[in-house]
């Protein structure tokens, strides 16, 4: 039997195959999530976010917080609130009543009384909106 095997082997080509030069696809390579270039790009993006983008955004957030706190909490703009002039509504009503008693137009006693009254109404609405912004800021 050995002679038959020797005959068979002798008829086979005597070429050696260099497996190092052959591409052998291993099943494990399919388990790799990213190729090197994509992984390098993703790691670079994360590095940029941590080194530059996030610190810059926190700086902007800090700046915005300080500005909003100054305006909304510390009243750095020295705005008036409706409560500061609320009694003016009663005064306007008294002026109108006195003008009627005297038979005068209220604008003769207080020029642009209607405009002032409208601004008081507008100030009341805006003061409510401002207080809402203050609550929103405090809850942020």
For helices 113-139 and 87-102, angle between their N-to-C axes, nearest 10 degrees: 170
Asked whether the predicted pLDDT for residue 114 surpasses 80, the reply is yes
* pLDDT value of residue 35: 86
If you ran DSSP here, which 8-state letter would residue 76 be given? T
Q: Give buried/exposed letters for 32-61 (b at 16+ CB in 10 A, else e).
A: eeeeeeeeeeeeeeeeeeeeeeeeeeeeee
pTM higher than 0.75: no
Confidence of residue 36 (pLDDT cuts 50, 70, 90): confident
* pLDDT value of residue 110: 95
Cβ–Cβ < 8 Å for 117, 91: no
Asked whether the predicted pLDDT for residue 74 surpasses 60, the reply is yes
Q: Which among 78, 76, 72, 85 has a CA at the least distance from the CA of 132?
A: 72
The tens digit of pLDDT for each residue in 83-93 reads 999 999 999 99
The tens digit of pLDDT for each residue in 7-17 reads 655 666 666 66
């Amino acid at each position: 039997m050995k002679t038959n095997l020797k005959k068979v082997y002798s008829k086979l080509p005597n070429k050696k195959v260099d497996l190092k030069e052959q591409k052998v696809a291993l099943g494990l390579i399919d388990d790799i999530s990213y190729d090197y270039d994509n992984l390098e790009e993703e790691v670079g993006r994360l590095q940029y976010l941590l080194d530059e983008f996030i610190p810059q955004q926190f700086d902007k957030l800090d700046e915005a917080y300080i500005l909003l706190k100054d305006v909304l909490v510390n009243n750095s703009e020295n705005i008036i609130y409706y409560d500061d002039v609320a009694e003016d509504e009663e005064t306007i009503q008294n002026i109108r009543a006195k003008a009627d008693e005297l038979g005068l137009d209220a604008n003769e006693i207080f020029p642009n009384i209607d405009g002032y009254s409208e601004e008081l109404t507008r100030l009341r609405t805006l003061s409510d909106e401002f207080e809402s912004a203050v609550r929103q800021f405090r809850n942020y």
